[in-house]
Amino acid sequence: GQQLNQSPQSMFIQEGEDVSMNCTSSSIFNTWLWYKQDPGEGPVLLIALYKAGELTSNGRLTAQFGITRKDSFLNISASIPSDVGIYFCAGRGTQGGSEKLVFGKGTKLTVNP
């Protein structure tokens, strides 16, 4: 089945630093999504990308849909303590017309004040 490789697994940064994380796949995806999950909660959608090459921003967050449709990255600029959490990439593929999402294993972000 389709799989996403998300890296890094974890990051420890100082407040104010920029952060970058990415996802790669051996399969093509039609949509890339980035979610953030806080402990004990469900994932919250941050950014959705629908076209190869698309670059989209949401406040301090920027994400890009790779031109090959097999990768995506998420950047967070000027990190703040509330950015702490687990960030997941998710792809919606082309198999069988299903709307299911395939998730990466997450990047756990720790921000030191």
| Closer by beta carbon to another protein, 44 or else 80 | 44
Q: Which of 15, 17, 45, 80 binds another protein (CB under 8 A)?
A: 45
Give least dist CB 19 to another protein, A.
19
Length reported for the chain: 113
Interface with another protein, residue 92, by CB under 8 A:
yes
Smallest distance from another protein to CB 45, Å: 6
Q: Would you say 60 or 105 has its CB closer to another protein? A: 105
Kindly report the number of other CB atoms within 10 A of residue 41's CB atom: 9
HEC secondary structure over 31-85: EEEEEEECCCCCCEEEEEECCCCCEEEECCEEEEECCCCCEEEEEECCCCHHHCE
Interface stretch with another protein, choices 11-19, 52-60, 73-81, 100-108 (CB under 8 A)? 100-108
> Could you tell me the two tokens for 2?
């389709």
What is the distance between the alpha carbons of residues 36 and 34, in angstroms, rounded to a whole number?
Answer: 7
CB count in 10 Å sphere of residue 97: 6
Q: According to CB under 8 A, which one of 29, 35, 65, 73 is a site residue for another protein?
A: 35
Residues near another protein, by CB under 8 A: 4, 6, 30-31, 33, 35, 40-45, 48, 50, 88, 90, 92, 96, 98-106
